Structure 1
Amino acid sequence: MKPILSILLFVCLGLAAAAGIGFYPSFTFTPVVRDDEQQGFDQELVIKFSHVVAENTPKGLAAQRFAQLVKEKTNGRVKVEVFPNGVLYNESDEFEALNRGDVQMIAPAFSNVSEVVPAFAAWDVPFAFLSNEALQEAFDGDIGRRLFAKLDKEHMVGMAYWGNGFRQITSNKDRCFIPRTSRA
């Protein structure tokens, strides 16, 4: 009889120890640690992308293509909602909207970015680039990286440069004349 009692006592002590060790976290009063970044991980992520040009322009078409690629590459988990024609914000308001988090992406003209980061005016210097290829090389090279780095100070991230073609002084005439403001 003694061996059975010893075995039973040994089993009971083993079960008590296992229960104490196994349920130990529930005996404490410390909160359970949660990873906040993982909450809602299975939900769709929506990015609002505002720009001020029409859908059928190069920038408008690029924005639509970007939204399509993001949807495909994330299997629909990330959705980019494109708002063209300044329907959400005009040129002067889109940077504030971005900083407030009302939109997550904008595609401003370089002249508008230069109001926030003056060095971006370099892209608008007439005749600075001999060809579209030279411009693309500058976008992808050291100049482009340095200008994107300046956006960090404004709490923005530059993702890509979208060229919109050359815009120099043009006219529908053979010659372009600039009127004098005063006669000598």
Structure 2
Amino acid sequence: MKIAQFFRTALVMTSLVALTSVKAQTFEERTLRIGHPVNTDHPISMGVKKFTEIVALKTGGKIIVKEFPSLVLGNEMQQISALAGGIQEAFAPGTAPVAGVVKDFGLLDLPFLVSNSAQADALLDGPFGEALLAKLPEKGLIGLAFWENGFRHVTNSKRPINRIEDLDGLKIRVQQNPVFIETFKALKTNPVPMSFAELFGALESKALDAQENPYLITRSSRLYEVQKHLSATSHAYGVIVFLVSKKFWDKLTPDEQKILRAAALEARDYERQVSRLQAKTAIEDLTNKGMIFNEVKPAETERMRVATQGVVDKFMQAYDPATVKLLRSELVRVKNLK
């Protein structure tokens, strides 16, 4: 009886393997080139590698994913344009360049929208995130998932930021983005919009006092060499949008589309986990490099949020009212998540 059961089990397993092999043969050989803005030691790159592994496994190696880090395929807008034109297959940028194509993505740059990772995940993976992604196809893009770039924090060469008053007068580099400029004006700093490529030199020469970025960017760009204080301001949450060319997407079979979407979501969960683990180790690494780290008390974070509420209200008026209404309701829903 046991021998017969063994052979029945073996037959079932053999059939499954055969079916899997046959199904793999139905996939067309394709190459998917994905660009992103960071180095290969960053969690975004690790997420791309995980995505690559999943796609190779589920398609029997028929769909090959090739990674192009550090904007080697062109700047953000060039790569997004290449996707829309069907010249490039995939790209994983931050929200700012995506907002240049679909304006409502700029809502994700607003200050103090969420205060922890659980809130961020619930907001992005829920109806609001879905509504944003639904706006992409008419621009020639498909959004598969939201990945993480991490909370942004202020570093500077003058003093720790324990209270909102400690920000007064700091000359701080910000992204070339109106939301960030107005946010830091509201916090009474002197914001200087500048490309990231110019940042290190400006801090080294003391032309600037401060900058704001996720911990991992501060570490990988060696900003600890020109900054003394690292303060956990968590003033904005950085999002990565996993984009695919609609022209490429429309050539895929439903099974292929299903596999790529599932792979992007599975890789998202992995990338977020790696990002959060690395953020914790980055603080230790940065302090070992000589930076002085300080937490910001919740009461002071709330004062910063209140100080920037006018910026939020102002910019929300510029976006689609239905999307803004949905965002406000979703923020209420996720507010108490820890």
How does the TM-score come out when normalised to structure 2? Answer: 0.40
Among candidates 78, 94, 97, match of residue 82 of structure 2: 97
Q: 1:129 to 1:42 in 2, by over 3 A?
A: closer
**Over residues 55-95 of structure 1, what are the superposed CA-to-partner deviations in whole Å (9 max), with x where a residue is unaligned?**
11111111111111111111101111111111112223111
**Over residues 114-157 of structure 1, what are the superposed CA-to-partner deviations in whole Å (9 max), with x where a residue is unaligned?**
11111111111111002111000011101001000111221211
Among candidates 167, 172, 182, match of residue 177 of structure 1: 167
Question: What is the correspondence of 1:110-121 to structure 2 with a 5 Å cutoff?
Answer: 110-121=95-106
What is the alpha-carbon distance in structure 2 between the residues aligned to residue 162 and residue 178 of structure 1? 33
1:52 maps to 37
What is the alpha-carbon distance in structure 2 between the residues aligned to residue 102 and residue 151 of structure 1? 17
Are positions 1:138 and 2:130 aligned together? no
Q: 1:71 to 1:129 in 2, by over 3 A?
A: same
Amino acid at match of 1:160: A
Amino acid at match of 1:89: G
Q: How many pairs were matched up?
A: 142
Task: Please identify the structure whose Cα radius of gyration is greater.
Answer: 1
2:306 maps to none
In the alignment, structure 2 segments of 5+ residues that lack a partner are 1-24, 170-188, 191-338
Percentage of pairs with the same residue:
30
What is the alpha-carbon distance in structure 2 between the residues aligned to residue 100 and residue 75 of structure 1? 28
Higher mean alpha-carbon deviation, 132-141 vs 88-97, is at: 88-97
Aligned to 2:121, what secondary structure does the other structure show?
helix
Residue 53 of structure 1 contacts residue 86 of structure 1 at CA under 8 Å; is this kept in 2? yes
In the alignment, structure 1 segments of 5+ residues that lack a partner are 1-39
Question: By how many angstroms is 1:174 displaced?
Answer: 1.5
> Which is richer in strand?
2
Among candidates 51, 63, 77, match of residue 62 of structure 2: 77
How does the TM-score come out when normalised to structure 1? Answer: 0.70
Residue 85 of structure 2 contacts residue 140 of structure 2 at CA under 8 Å; is this kept in 1? no
Are positions 1:88 and 2:78 aligned together? no
C-alpha RMSD of matched pairs (Å) = 2.0
Aligned to 2:51, what secondary structure does the other structure show?
helix
Q: 1:71 to 1:111 in 2, by over 3 A?
A: same
Amino acid at match of 1:104: E
> Which is richer in helix?
2
Higher relative contact order (CA 8 A, sep 6+): 2
